[in-house]
């Protein structure tokens, strides 16, 4: 199979090398996105029937839709395929590929995707790949922010901050419950746990409202840096309104909705019921 990369960045270099090592013919051009597609001598002047264009950059759904329409107008096939991962996963072929668009083109390039990543997903219509990437990035940002917060606090008041930060990586719920009570009161622990659950619930609702399958989102999260046991345990039950209680929810909104005796993950119901 012949593969061309338009735009050579750090991750693309690693991806190109992996394809070359696995017998693919690879050609690379170092161009910006606008020059790649729409400028003089860009893709639109050369592409036609029988060819496929795969956009693996991180763009918004509107941009992906615009590029798709332009490529399809020339008789070619289009697939968006942003990736979840950074330079190191790119080098080791451990990216997660979030594809959407032409199903036949996706199936044709699966051998290449299998080299580039540990898992690829076909998410349906154009825009879904970009939406999934943005939701995953938002969740990752929330996790990183929480980890930094606890690292700062524990480094200040606990001699066990390194072990405490490691517990966060192993699982948010067990992390908060294991904090040394000599340094952290119950109220503070509950507030930090809620912040993580709230952020996760908001993104899960956003994914559903954007037309994404929550199961796909949970699968993607479990394959990357966001593979937190709490998401794995609580996530599948939340869209099913199943809240086996481990930690009682105590929001005023929850009590007014008759959810006050349910597990903290039932905050998802409050967010799902909101209009915005």
- Per-residue pLDDT, 266: 64
Residue 77 pLDDT greater than 80, yes or no? yes
Determine which one of 133, 186, 240, 272 is catalytic: 133
Specify the CATH class of 2-125 in words.
alpha beta
- Per-residue pLDDT, 198: 76
Residue 133 designated active-site = yes
The DSSP code for 106 is H
pTM assigned to the model = 0.77
Specify the CATH class of 131-273 in words.
mainly alpha
Residue 272 pLDDT greater than 80, yes or no? no
- Helix then strand then coil, % of the chain, to nearest 5: 55, 15, 30
Residue 1 pLDDT greater than 50, yes or no? yes
- Per-residue pLDDT, 95: 95
* Whole-angstrom distance, CA of residue 176 vs CA of residue 163: 13
Residue 233 pLDDT greater than 70, yes or no? yes
* Whole-angstrom distance, CA of residue 58 vs CA of residue 157: 40
* Whole-angstrom distance, CA of residue 132 vs CA of residue 217: 7
pLDDT band at residue 270 under the 50/70/90 scheme: low
- Span 239-243, average pLDDT: 72
Residues of the chain with CATH 3.40.50.720: 2-125
Instruction: Please name the residues in contact with 40: beta carbons below 8 A apart, sequence gap of 6 or more.
Output: none
Q: What is the pLDDT of residues 24-70, one digit of tens each?
A: 999 887 766 556 777 777 788 888 898 999 999 888 999 999 999 99
> Do residues 172 and 194 touch, judged by C-beta distance below 8 A?
no
Q: What is the pLDDT of residues 131-170, one digit of tens each?
A: 999 999 888 877 666 656 555 455 444 444 444 444 444 4
- Per-residue pLDDT, 103: 97
pLDDT band at residue 219 under the 50/70/90 scheme: very high
* Whole-angstrom distance, CA of residue 237 vs CA of residue 122: 23
Q: How many residues belong to the chain?
A: 276
Greater pLDDT, 267 or 13:
13
Residues of the chain with CATH 1.10.1040.10: 131-273
Which of 82-91, 172-181, 251-260 is the least confident region? 172-181
Residue 16 pLDDT greater than 50, yes or no? yes
Q: What is the mean pLDDT of the chain?
A: 77
Taking alpha carbons only, the member of 83, 78, 69, 68 closest to residue 103 is 78
- Per-residue pLDDT, 73: 94
């Amino acid at each position: 199979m012949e593969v061309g990369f338009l735009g050579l960045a750090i991750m693309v270099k690693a991806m190109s090398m992996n394809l070359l090592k696995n017998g693919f013919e690879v050609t690379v051009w170092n161009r910006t996105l606008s020059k790649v597609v729409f400028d003089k001598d860009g893709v639109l002047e050369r592409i036609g029937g029988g060819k496929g264009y795969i956009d693996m950059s991180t763009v918004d759904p509107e941009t992906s839709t615009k590029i798709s329409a332009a490529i399809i107008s020339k008789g070619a096939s289009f697939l968006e395929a942003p990736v979840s991962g950074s330079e190191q996963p790119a080098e080791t072929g451990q990216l997660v590929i979030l594809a959407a668009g032409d199903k036949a083109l996706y199936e044709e390039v699966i051998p290449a995707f299998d080299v580039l990543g540990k898992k690829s997903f076909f998410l349906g219509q154009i825009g879904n790949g970009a939406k999934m990437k943005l939701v995953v990035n938002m969740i990752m940002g929330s996790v990183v922010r929480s980890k930094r917060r606890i690292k700062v606090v524990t480094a200040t008041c606990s001699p066990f901050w390194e072990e405490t930060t490691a517990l966060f990586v192993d699982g948010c719920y067990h992390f908060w419950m294991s904090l040394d009570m000599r340094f952290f009161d119950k109220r503070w622990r509950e507030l930090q746990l809620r912040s993580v659950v709230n952020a996760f619930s908001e993104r899960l609702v956003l994914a559903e409202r954007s037309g994404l399958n929550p199961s796909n989102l949970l699968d993607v999260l479990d394959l990357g840096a966001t593979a937190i046991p709490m998401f794995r345990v609580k996530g599948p039950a939340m869209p099913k309104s199943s809240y086996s209680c481990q930690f009682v929810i105590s929001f005023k909104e929850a009590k007014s909705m008759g959810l006050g005796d349910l597990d903290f993950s039932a905050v998802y119901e409050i967010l799902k019921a909101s209009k915005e």
